Amino acid sequence: MKTFKLCTLRILMDESGRDTTIPVAIKDGLTVSTDQTAQWVAEIVVLENDQPIIDELFAKNLRALIEITISRPDNDPAAMIVTPLESTPLSEGVSYLFKGKMVMMKNDLSESILREVVEDHFTGEALIQEYKDRRSKRGAHITSIAKETFKQYLHENPTLS
């Protein structure tokens, strides 16, 4: 098992159909990988302003697609599909516990971009430049791929298990 500090969090969409990227200001947070492949637990502490969006996920028991950065805010983001587990009121904010499945990380994105550049018939120096250009626009790219992955996951897993 590995534990990482959670630096940033954005909710990309939830299973109710809401498809709006919502940044959530977190007071504190961590992610822990379990012994199972791609299975994670995430705990976040959120102050009052951003609690309603998280509370809604818990009240309706909605799975959500989130984008997180770990260790340092300037690291590449990773996408997770999360399911609410538990919320605990604290003296300052609320602690929310989720179980999650990592669906896209930095290596996945790099490979995806490279495949697309090759499929678009770039070669040689043009391939390298196009890869760099697309890599610099990775934020929108990862969000798009992650959302499609989430939709496919919901289609294949229509109910919580």
N-to-C CA span, the chain: 23
Distance CA 83, CA 61 (A): 7
User: Does residue 103 have a pLDDT over 70?
Assistant: yes
User: Does residue 161 have a pLDDT over 60?
Assistant: no
Question: What is the pLDDT, as a whole number, of residue 141?
Answer: 67
Q: How confident is the model at residue 14 (pLDDT cuts 50, 70, 90)?
A: very high
Arithmetic mean of pLDDT, 17-32: 90
Distance CA 153, CA 147 (A): 10
Q: Measuring CA to CA, which residue among 82, 78, 95, 101 is closest to residue 7?
A: 78
The answer to whether the CB of 14 falls within 8 A of the CB of 63 is yes
Distance CA 125, CA 133 (A): 12
Burial state string for 42-56 with b = 16 or more CB within 10 A and e = fewer than 16: bbbbbeeebbebbee
Span 129-158, pLDDT tens digits: 998 888 777 666 677 778 888 998 899 988
User: What global pTM score does this model have?
Assistant: 0.79
User: Does residue 54 have a pLDDT over 60?
Assistant: yes
